[in-house]
Amino acid sequence: MLGFIKIFLQGLLYVVLLPLIILVLALYAAYCIIIFIYMAIRSVIVFFMGGTPLGDLPEDVEAKRILMEREQVKNQDPTQTLANAIAQSSMQIAQNMYAQQGAPEVVPTETTNEDTYENTIEEMDDGNSY
């Protein structure tokens, strides 16, 4: 009975608000027609300029790339990851050994090209460059 009364009252509300609902729908319909015409003109222009009219937005492309990279990292072979870790630690040990023997420090791989260039120039100035 309570459900019936609830539906009845909702119906009453919808009937009272019907003119307003129709007005909002009509306004949105007019807005949507304008958007449709704008999108149609835009799509034609983009098509004749050689683009894809309704392709992905730049944000979508970027998001897909990031998510794909994450997926690749997640699905990476664990043995390969272990091999990479061993290779990295071997490199670290070798660097430490050279440093103890007084050999020039190996330029870290994490540095950018610009940093590497600046380090090289400094080493050349000191006369330690090979």
Partner 1 sequence: MVTLIKLTENDKRLIIVLLLLVILLFVVAGYIGVLVRKIMRFQGSKADDMLHDVVEAGVITSERKLLLFGIRKNWRVLFKHAWIPFLIMLTALTIYLLNCLFTKNWSYNIWDYEKTGFNTLFFVHDWSVFYKSSAEGFTITWPKLVSTPHFSGEAWVSYIFVPAMTVGGAWFVFEVQGYIARAYRIYVLSKKAFRKTMENVTPPSSPINPE
Residue with tokens 């390969």: 80
Could you tell me which residues come within 8 angstroms of residue 26 by beta carbon, excluding any fewer than 6 positions away? Answer: none
Q: Is 28 in the site for partner 1 (CB under 8 A)?
A: yes
How near is the Cβ of 84 to partner 1 at its closest, in Å?
25
Please select the residue that binds partner 1; options are 66, 82, 94, 124, rule is CB under 8 A: 66
Other C-beta atoms lying within 10 Å of the C-beta of residue 73: 9
**Single-letter residue type at 57:** L
Q: Is 41 a binder of partner 1 (CB under 8 A)? A: no
Contact 47, 36 (CB under 8 A): no
Site for partner 1 contains 75 (CB under 8 A) = no
Measure the N-to-C terminal CA separation of the chain; round to a whole number of Å: 94
Helices (H) and strands (E) in the chain, counts: 4, 0
Q: Which is nearer to partner 1, 11 or 104 (CB)?
A: 11
- Shortest distance, CB of residue 7 to partner 1, whole angstroms? 4
Q: Is 15 in the site for partner 1 (CB under 8 A)?
A: yes
Residue 43 within binding range of partner 1, rule CB under 8 A: yes
Binding stretches for partner 1 (CB under 8 A): 4, 6-15, 24-25, 28-29, 32, 35-36, 38-40, 43, 54, 57, 59-60, 62-64, 66-67, 70
